[in-house]
Amino acid sequence: MVTWVLRLLVAGGLGVDAWVHARLAPGYDANRQAGGLSQGDLFRAEAVAAAVVAVLVLVVVLRRAAVAGLGVAVLAVLVSASALGALLLSVYRQVGAVGPLPDMYEPFWFPDKTLAAVAEGIAVAASVALVVVLWRRLRRRPPPGRRHEAVTRTALRA
């Protein structure tokens, strides 16, 4: 039950993040470093990454204590934390253009940015909690190739 709630929170947060970035991307196409990527391109990449990971969290993590599920949960932490970090960095620090990346300094908040920040924060917290829950589950159960040995040993002792 806990993993379902966490998965829904992660997928919901990443889904909102993907929607906001996809919606805002056309407005940021003009912010381009010479010969590099535009901020709109980066927003589209973030939208695709968040949407793909949101779907993976709902589909792959369904198997209990699977290593693949843990990997997807870690990927969700990375995607959501990087999105939140980039957003906060763009508001509070003027880094300037870095290589092919444009200067994304925008020192003010507006409703879509606030919505994205809240959704990303929820996704970070829920995905970290999901990693902890899945890690604990994985450590409690023997690896799939060893389960039959544990059952056999228990049966022989009885």
Q: Work out how many domains the chain is built from and give that number.
A: 1
- DSSP secondary structure letter of residue 99: T
Per residue in 9-21, pLDDT (tens digit) is 999 999 999 999 9
**What pLDDT band is residue 137 in, cutting at 50, 70 and 90?**
confident
* Weakest mean pLDDT among 86-90, 104-108, 143-147: 143-147
Taking the C-alpha atoms of residue 116 and residue 45, their distance in angstroms, rounded to an integer, is 15
Taking the C-alpha atoms of residue 14 and residue 9, their distance in angstroms, rounded to an integer, is 8
Per residue in 100-125, pLDDT (tens digit) is 888 888 999 999 999 999 999 999 99
Q: Is the dihedral of CA 102, 28, 13, 18 positive or negative?
A: negative
Is 137 in contact with 70 (CB distance < 8 Å)?
Answer: no
Question: Half-sphere exposure of 39 toward its Cβ, with a 13 Å CA cutoff?
Answer: 18
**pLDDT for residue 100:** 85
| Tokens encoding 62 | 């369904």
Query: Where would I find the beta strands (DSSP E) of 2-154?
Result: none
Task: Give the range of the structural domain holding residue 41, as residue numbers without chain letter.
Answer: 2-157
Intra-chain end-to-end CA distance of the chain, in Å: 34
